[in-house]
Amino acid sequence: MAKRHPYHAGNYTPIHTTLKPRPCPSEGAIPEEFLGGHTANTSFVHHDGRVLATNETGPPMRVILPSLKTVGWFTGSRAEGEPTDEKPHPYFGGPGVEGFFKEMTTAHPHVDPQTQEMFLFHATFLAPFVTYSTAKSSFNQTLCLNQPVPGFQGGRIMHDFGVSRKHTVMIDLPVSLDPFNLCRNRPVVEYNWRGQTRFGVFPRYEPEKVEWYTTAPCMIMHTVNTWDEETFNGTRVHLLLCRMNSAAPLYHMGGLEAPNITIPESPECRLYYYQFPPNKENPKQISHQWALSAIPFEFPHVPQRLQMAPTRFVYGNSMRTGDFAEACISNFKVECLVKIDVAALLARGLADPPSQVDGCVDKRSVAEVLTSDDPNDPIKVFTLPDRWYAQECSFVARKDGQSEDDGWLVTYVYDESQLDENGVAPEDSQSELWIIDALEMKEVVARVLLPQRVPYGMHGNWFPEEQVLGQREVERFRK
């Protein structure tokens, strides 16, 4: 810990960029008026010497650590504000207004920890509706932007996807996006409870070879991890994600007016497992799809160095009462951090598979897990004191650690006893950074008092010293 800087960043302090940039040479065909305001406040990712803030309303925005000063748009091959050269550079989207809409990029790019390539998708309401990009790195010069992904029938709301070492998994939810619905007196964003959820699996660099798998309608905001398994019939693909049986949080997270949607009697957001068959195996249907645990589970975390491989542990947020799939996201309070032994629960599930779609391996509630004194329990829960609430956690490995989980979880926490009688945080209230032992999930080993309150946010990330010190050169910042 002593050799790492405590830069734990997320959308806790949103970055607002409202000035028009000087277009990059490759962007000369894009009208400057469409390159202006942008709020990149959903997540942060590190790629090839850049720290990128993300939001679905445009391409990633490069910022600098630790100041969080705005550098400029990341176009797919370089960022505005970086030293220029004379040659043209490929970029997301394309020329004109249509290209502007097609450069809108997922808030959750995936970076291969081995090759350092970054994978992204761009979803809009214009055909072909979803395109796919691979951004190169200093270690791998693969660059392929704006590849169409066949099979989408219209505009879709998509937030995340899965990427393994060899495959990519697109998630086609029954959530349509069509601004022209305004002319029909219908919502721009619609969830179809009678529709279906589809997974499109294709080789990492060949979206034209996508194969589609259908299942019951659901909401998926975040994937957890994706990995491959070689068999004599080809490659089997495994996917972990957070599955909701309610679409209500979609509208609240997007600040949208919720239509008359059906709220399940028991809203659920669980850690789910999906298995897709090898490419030479028939029939082409999902081999397994069931929950690993019944506890509420969202804002998942797998250490970046372990992603795209079959890791043993995943971490995430939970709560003792309520669920992430309930109607009002403003009531979400993260009371617990959770560590799940995926390997143990997968072994149990594959040995005796639960029923497809609605089955579950470990059916205990958070309260029941907390009563366990089994040192080998596959689910461990760290609970905060009453009126203390956390945010998304990040795992920091111990130097020369002896196991995959030998390290710490870091998260921002806030004591709501500081709120005034109206439930408002005073200007002098303060948050803390907690460092929690990840082995046993019981002890807070350090508390760092921050100079101000950190508002509740969505995502967080931990940037080690080498990434902070190794950022690419910047020629100018946005003012």
C-alpha distance from residue 73 to each of 38, 40, 360, 371 (Å): 10, 10, 43, 49
Nearest-angstrom CA–CA distance, 265 and 268: 10
Q: 239-276 burial, b if ≥16 CB within 10 A, otherwise e? A: bbbbbbbbbbbbbbeeeeebeeeeeeeebbbbbbbbbb
| HSE toward the beta carbon, residue 245, CA cutoff 13 A | 16
- Other beta carbons within 10 angstroms of residue 195's beta carbon come to 16
The answer to whether the beta carbons of residues 170 and 145 sit under 8 Å apart is no
459 labelled ligand-binding: yes
108 labelled ligand-binding: yes
Q: 177 has which bridge partners?
A: 189
222 labelled ligand-binding: yes
C-alpha distance from residue 362 to each of 290, 293, 453 (Å): 11, 5, 37
Known binding site: residues?
108, 159, 222, 459
Known binding site for Fe cation: residues?
108, 159, 222, 459
